[in-house]
Amino acid sequence: MFDFIDRSIMQKDHQSEPIWTNSTFRSTVYQIAAISIVALTAYYLFTNTTANLAKQSIATGFGFLSRESSFEIGESMISFSSSDTYLKALAVGALNTVKVSFIGIILTVALGIIVGIARLSTNWLVSRIAAVYIEVLQDIPVLLQLFFWYTIFNNVMPSPRQAMIPFNGMVLCNRGAYFAIPADHPAFTWMGYAIVIACILIFFIRKWAKKRQERTGQIFPIFTVSSLLIIVLPLVAWFVMGAPTEMNMPVLKGFNFEGGYNVSPEFGSLLLGLVLYTSAFVAEIVRAGIQSISKGQREAAESLGLRPIFVMNLVILPQALRVIIPPLTSQLLNLTKNSSLAVAIGYPDFVSISNTTISQTGQAIEGVALIMIMYLTISLLTSFFMNWYNDKMALVER
């Protein structure tokens, strides 16, 4: 913050000059003044608001968070009923936002990379299809896309009583897609542990393989071994625990299907809309990143006799990532923030729950503050992670 640049130049006159002409002193004073003005303004706004609200006898504070919410939420990752508190309702909304953002980010990055690379393909058709995809989806406002997918879902899908059943265990209707999932059994907990163990093993094997390759030049078939581990270990756990095969099937009961795993039309269209829209931008970023690597790099790699997949994975992408990551971060943040459009199509995200809370308690200032804090937290965490990844990927100068 402080300006130390001129110090060495100022050094020689330092004894003779009066303190108010000293640049370090001046800049310190200016900064203290600026901070004081900001702090005083904030203090004035805060006290004035509190006083005004008190005079108009409007309730303030966050006391409402512990009161009974008395509304229901359509979909929730944790159990929730109308007798739970506003705090829990908001937590449900926050989890729903995190769920759609998290799944959305993973799918967006995957799809974006595929389309971005396809855009640069030497195959004319593949590169044209990718170009059309990018141009069309980039240019339509995301809210319109959400409405579009939601309308499609609602109008194309049949009612539950005439549901489409493509195969046993999957049901499609205008209440969403239902999938049969394995019925509760302790074996599945152990399979979860097995996956974690597999991941840890893979981590160490990769480290070892890299070291060995650096030492001896031998390439270890890391991908095959990793895939085998992550499939075989849980399978072993499943067999050991008695190989349960009972399924929890969706069954039509009364108005709706019950059982199985339900992907609601709201979640489905929100995810689809966000992923398709954002991945178009990500694809362009990926393309820009790859094109920023000079042609010589590719030619050099090819002349070493590397296969195209290795040229991409070992030479081009590691360098391109440095260009890709910063703009990618901002697109992923956009996806998270755009997920607040959910309320337009009825997905109970954080903004939707906050809106209900605001209209039931009337405490708009607190509600809006909570929304801001929530999105700020998610965005800061995402950008913290991406900055860490960026530092890790940055070119190490030797």
Partner 1 sequence: MKYFKILTVLLSVVLILVSGIVSAGTLENVKKKGFVQVGVNQGLFGFASADEKGEWKGLDVDTARAISCAVFGTPDKLKFIPLSAQTRFTALQSGEIDVLCRNATRTLARESQLGLNFVTVNYYDGQGFMVPKSLGLKSAKELSGATVCVLQGTTTEQNAADYFKKNGMAWKPVVVESTPAIQQAFFSGRCDCMTSDASQLAGLRTAAPKPGDYMLLPEIISKEPLAPAVRHGDDQWYDVVNFSVLAMIQAEEYGITSKNVDDMLKSEDPEIKRFLGVTPGNGEALGLDEKFAYNIVKHVGNYGEVFDRNVGPATPLAIERGLNALWTNGGLMYAPPFK
Residues at the contact surface with partner 1, assessed by CB under 8 A: 45, 48-49, 52-53, 55-59, 70-74, 81-83, 143, 147, 150-151, 154-155, 159, 174-175, 253-256, 258, 265-266, 340-341, 343-346, 348, 351-352, 355-356, 358-365, 368, 371
All residues at 6 or more sequence positions from 86 whose CB lies less than 8 Å from its CB, including other chains: 64, 65, 66, 67, 68, 69, 357, 361
Closer Cβ to partner 1, 283 or 353, answer by number: 353
Minimum gap (Å) between residue 371 Cβ and partner 1: 7
Closer Cβ to partner 1, 3 or 72, answer by number: 72
Minimum gap (Å) between residue 300 Cβ and partner 1: 48
Q: Under DSSP, is residue 253 helix (H, G, I), strand (E, B) or coil? A: strand
Are 367 and 356 spatial neighbours (Cβ–Cβ below 8 Å)?
no
Closer Cβ to partner 1, 174 or 319, answer by number: 174
Instruction: Give the span between the Cα atoms of 18 and 142, in whole angstroms.
Output: 60
Closer Cβ to partner 1, 331 or 338, answer by number: 338
Closer Cβ to partner 1, 210 or 337, answer by number: 337
Residue type, 71: F
Residue whose structure tokens are 């709706």 = 256
Instruction: Give the span between the Cα atoms of 95 and 7, in whole angstroms.
Output: 52
Minimum gap (Å) between residue 138 Cβ and partner 1: 19
The end-to-end CA distance of the chain, in Å, is 30
Closer Cβ to partner 1, 26 or 337, answer by number: 337
Minimum gap (Å) between residue 198 Cβ and partner 1: 37
Minimum gap (Å) between residue 236 Cβ and partner 1: 39
Minimum gap (Å) between residue 91 Cβ and partner 1: 17
- DSSP secondary structure string for all residues of 255-322: TEEESSEEE-HHHHHHHHHHHHHHHHHHHHHHHHHHHTS-HHHHHHHHHTT--HHHIIIIIIHHHHHH
